[in-house]
């Protein structure tokens, strides 16, 4: 005779984790994730990017069409000011910037004959007529005042600025964007900011042009998505790298020759986030930094692709902090060959 089936008992449900246990589990997961990211950042880090120049990059073409060897930032300075203009496919925007800059510099030199300058246009592997446009200014003002350095391949904005800095002759070196978004006469404001930092330790100081005072106006004109990206980027810069400078990305920065040599010799990032690493290095080296409000106008034709460029910069910011923290990157000095 078959025995009656016994009703199966329900399996016991797992007890929910208590709040402290859940918090501990999340903390352990976060710690594991951080260790993993640190390991990836360390393993994938290039110890020091190459500073090798291609043979064609060791010369510039003068106004007469002859090749001349480029000077080195390691040599004693022979000019008061060098202006480095990184340019990638800038045939349309470069003339406006160059006209304004050279008009100011020529007038200043007439007022003060002891003031000497040079403008170095760095063509960062452009596919348009950037070199041809820049050479017109070389022929007009002479190759002692305007020089064009053409890179064999695109290095990125940071790489282009570095090559220009390493070929400069100025006691002070100004980075200026090719779009002319910053009013060039505002160089006097950043010069004053630099002067106010004296005495400069080891002759090193940096003065940054800033658009932070224009933030409210820019928010009103931008989409919510771009505003969110902007605030997110600013938070990451503050949280991970640079706390004392509100606007790290304005392309109008004035450095003493010694500060430029020290920071650009250490720089690893060669694309959009290079400004942040530059200032991070300066802070680590205790180089004094001033932030000065400048006049700025947004110019059409930016090479920055809003979402993907911001994503790349966010990744670079995280890696800057982690790679220096783990010792993958060090504050070493290198010489460009």
| Structural domains in the chain plus CATH codes | 55-213+250-299 (3.90.550.10)
Q: Looking at the predicted structure, is the pLDDT value of residue 220 above 50? A: no
Residue 222 predicted with pLDDT over 70: no
User: Is the CB of residue 309 less than 8 Å from the CB of residue 268?
Assistant: no
For residue 230, pLDDT beyond 90? no
Sign of CA dihedral 178, 183, 185, 190: negative
Task: With cut-offs at 50, 70 and 90, classify the pLDDT of residue 297.
Answer: confident
Q: How do residues 231-248 score in pLDDT, each as one tens digit?
A: 788 888 888 899 889 988
5 pLDDT more than 60? no
List the alpha helices (DSSP H) in the chain.
Answer: 19-43, 94-111, 130-141, 157-165, 187-195, 215-221, 224-236, 257-264, 274-284, 306-325
Q: How confident is the model at residue 108 (pLDDT cuts 50, 70, 90)?
A: very high
Mean local confidence (pLDDT), 246-269? 93
**Pairing state between β 117-123 and 170-176:** unpaired
What average pLDDT does the chain have? 86
Q: For 269-283, what is the mean pLDDT?
A: 92
220 vs 234 pLDDT, higher one: 234
Report, as an integer, the average pLDDT of 24-36.
69
User: Residue 160 pLDDT more than 80?
Assistant: yes
Query: Which pLDDT score is estimated for 320?
Result: 92
Lowest mean per-residue pLDDT among 127-136, 166-175, 296-305: 296-305
Q: Are 173 and 77 in contact (CB under 8 A)?
A: no
What is the pLDDT confidence band of residue 142, given thresholds at 50, 70 and 90?
very high
Residues in the chain: 337
Residues 307 and 261 sit within 8 Å (Cβ to Cβ)? no
Per-residue pLDDT averaged across 57-76, rounded? 93
pLDDT in tens, 196-216: 999 999 999 999 999 887 656
Are the beta carbons of 294 and 190 closer than 8 angstroms?
A: yes
Alpha helices in 112-245 (DSSP H): 130-141, 157-165, 187-195, 215-221, 224-236
Q: Mean pLDDT across the stretch 270-288?
A: 93
Confidence check: pLDDT of 310 > 80: no
Which carries the bigger pLDDT value, residue 64 or residue 21?
64
pLDDT band for position 53 (50/70/90)?
confident
Alpha helices in 202-285, H assignment, sequence order: 215-221, 224-236, 257-264, 274-284
What would the mean pLDDT of 172-200 be, rounded to a whole number?
A: 95
Tell me which of 40 and 159 has the higher pLDDT: 159
- pLDDT at residue 19 in the model: 72
């Amino acid at each position: 005779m078959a025995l009656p089936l016994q009703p199966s008992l329900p399996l016991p449900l797992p007890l929910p984790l208590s709040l402290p246990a859940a918090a501990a589990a999340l903390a352990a997961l976060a710690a594991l994730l951080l260790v993993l990211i640190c390991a990836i950042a360390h393993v994938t880090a290039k110890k020091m990017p190459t500073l090798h120049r291609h043979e064609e990059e060791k010369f510039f073409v003068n106004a007469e069409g002859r090749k001349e060897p480029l000077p080195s930032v390691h040599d004693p300075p022979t000019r008061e000011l060098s202006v480095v203009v990184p340019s990638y496919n800038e045939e349309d925007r470069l003339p406006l910037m160059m006209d304004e800059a050279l008009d100011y510099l020529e007038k200043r030199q007439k007022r003060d004959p002891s003031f000497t300058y040079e403008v170095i246009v760095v063509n960062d592997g452009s596919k348009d007529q950037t070199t041809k446009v820049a050479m017109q200014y070389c022929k007009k003002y002479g190759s002692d005042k305007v020089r064009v350095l053409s890179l064999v391949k695109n290095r990125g904005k940071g790489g282009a600025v570095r090559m220009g800095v390493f070929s400069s002759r100025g006691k002070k070196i100004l980075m200026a964007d090719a779009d002319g978004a910053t009013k060039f006469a505002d160089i006097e404001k950043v010069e004053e900011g630099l002067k106010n930092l004296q005495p400069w330790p080891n002759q090193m100081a940096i003065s940054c042009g800033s658009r932070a005072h224009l933030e409210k106006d820019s928010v009103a004109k931008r989409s919510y998505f771009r505003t969110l990206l902007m605030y997110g980027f600013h938070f990451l810069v503050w949280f991970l790298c640079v706390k004392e400078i509100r606007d790290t990305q304005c392309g109008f920065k004035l450095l003493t020759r010694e500060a430029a040599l020290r920071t650009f010799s250490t720089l690893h990032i060669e694309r959009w986030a290079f400004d942040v690493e530059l200032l991070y290095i300066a802070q680590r080296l205790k180089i004094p930094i001033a932030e000065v409000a400048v006049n700025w106008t947004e110019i059409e034709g930016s090479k920055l692709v809003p979402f993907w460029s911001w994503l790349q910069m966010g990744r670079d910011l995280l890696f800057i902090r982690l790679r220096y923290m783990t010792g993958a990157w060090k504050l070493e000095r290198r010489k460009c060959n």
